[in-house]
Amino acid sequence: MSFYKFVLVPFLVLLTIESCVGRTLPSKLSDSTKQPLQTSRPYNIAHRGSNGEFPEETAAAYMRAIEEGADFIETDILATKDGVLICSHDVTLGDRTNIANFSQFADRKRTYEVQYVNMTDWFVVDFTLEELKLLGVNQRFSFRDQQYNGKFPIITFEEYISIALDAKRVVGIYPEIKNPVFVNQRVKWSDGKKFEDKFVETLKKYGYKGSYGSKEWLKQPAFIQSFAPSSLTYVANLTDLPKVFLIDDVTIRTEDTNQTYYELTSDSYLDFIKNFVIGIGPWKDTVVTTKNNYLDEVTDLVAKAHARGLQVHPYTFRNENSFLHFDFHQDPYVEYDYWINKIGVDGLFTDFTGSLHNFQEKTSPLS
């Protein structure tokens, strides 16, 4: 479906996006002419794109992130009713899209259990790609710019890959195997393969391969991430691409193994998972606990990870005062300085790619 059915947006935004949305297959510029991926400072990971400015996981958000200097563009992968892999953080559509405006979908709400909680909403897995392409994506937070609500469509995994491959410099991808238990319960492929199989097949189809730091990997960098450890151990047998184990609040249970992340950050578990992953992606509060919006205690998680040769890529860094602890005096640059130079992280998931890029250019320029 043509992108131009959506409400007109500023000309430069359209010009940026029309080159990738709706393309059937990703294209690729000459690799020999591209500026290589920087590896000398912590990675700037565009969390769902530059979603501080544009609705998350849209072409606009990703292309803006690349323009602002992202090393990697990050996304969440789910599957449609007809088995197409798409970019969406939520398994539901009510909050993230304008589906409520479509009367033909009014009777399509369902109640499913997702990660031990019953949820009633419209679910991605109940809609075909053609149906989902009718929808527009909304800005998640009400205090961010609302002018683009409903103006950009959901994109596919392949369209997301296209954006990275078409960049004028090497830009990595950082896709997440999202809610794999739920997806495998609800979506079936005719060849009998699993969600994780289709995920890796897509990466291989477009040339993503190689262990971390290898020549192949540096040509087309990618990290595979998941909160589900069994998915990571499964895909370890399918690809040598580096994997990152995501860590939520320590009280939360995993979707697949029903273990708390407290259990999964123990020395014994880190000794196990290090055989399958190159790093961990912890929620910031598992690294530094907080109290009354002040930093409290630095845990030993980063030290334990680094002792095992694992990188640490915490999430999520946001510019707004409501997300900044008082210690940082409402200044995101102070927060970046703390995490990079005191905590010693190896990458940062940020909603504001440009802010992190500007900080790094001022404090550790590449040239």
DSSP state of 7: P
What's the pLDDT at 367? 74
Measured distance CA(214)–CA(284) in Å, rounded: 29
Cα angle at 336 between 225 and 166, to 5 degrees?
50
- Split at pLDDT 50, 70, 90, the class of 8 is very low
DSSP state of 42: -
**Is 209 exposed, middle or buried (CB count within 10 Å of its CB: 0-12, 13-18, 19+)?**
middle
Task: State if pTM tops 0.85.
Answer: yes
Domains (ranges, CATH) in the chain?
A: 45-90+158-364 (3.20.20.190)
Asked if residue 285 lies in contact with residue 299, where contact means CB atoms within 8 angstroms, the answer is no
Q: What is the pLDDT of residues 83-98, one digit of tens each?
A: 999 999 999 999 999 9
Residue count of the chain = 367
- Split at pLDDT 50, 70, 90, the class of 19 is very low
Strands 72-79 and 288-291: unpaired
User: Which sign, positive or negative, has the C-alpha torsion 144, 145, 151, 156?
Assistant: negative
Q: Which two tokens stand for residue 171?
A: 């830009």
Q: Cα separations (Å) of 280 from 243, 273, 276, 299, 355?
A: 8, 10, 11, 15, 23
Provide the CA 93 distance to its chain's centre, in angstroms. Answer: 17
Which amino acid belongs to residue 277? V
Start-to-end Cα distance in the chain: 43
Measured distance CA(292)–CA(132) in Å, rounded: 41
Asked if residue 91 lies in contact with residue 125, where contact means CB atoms within 8 angstroms, the answer is yes
What's the pLDDT at 33? 85
How confident is the prediction for the chain on average, in pLDDT? 93
With a cut of 60, say whether residue 279 has pLDDT above it. yes
Which residues, in sequence order, are bridge partners of residue 246? 281
Contacts of 315 (CB under 8 A, 6+ apart): 47, 246, 281, 282, 283, 284, 348, 349
What's the pLDDT at 239? 98
Phi, psi (rounded to 5 degrees) for 197: -60, -45
More confident residue, 34 or 15: 34
Contacts of 271 (CB under 8 A, 6+ apart): 308
Cα angle at 68 between 76 and 306, to 5 degrees?
60
Q: What is the pLDDT of residues 304-339, one digit of tens each?
A: 999 999 999 999 999 999 999 999 999 999 999 999
What 3-state DSSP class applies to 354?
helix
Residues 171-197 have a mean pLDDT of: 98
Q: What is the pLDDT of residues 108-138, one digit of tens each?
A: 999 999 999 999 999 999 999 999 999 999 9
Q: Which two tokens stand for residue 156?
A: 């596919």
What 3-state DSSP class applies to 68?
helix
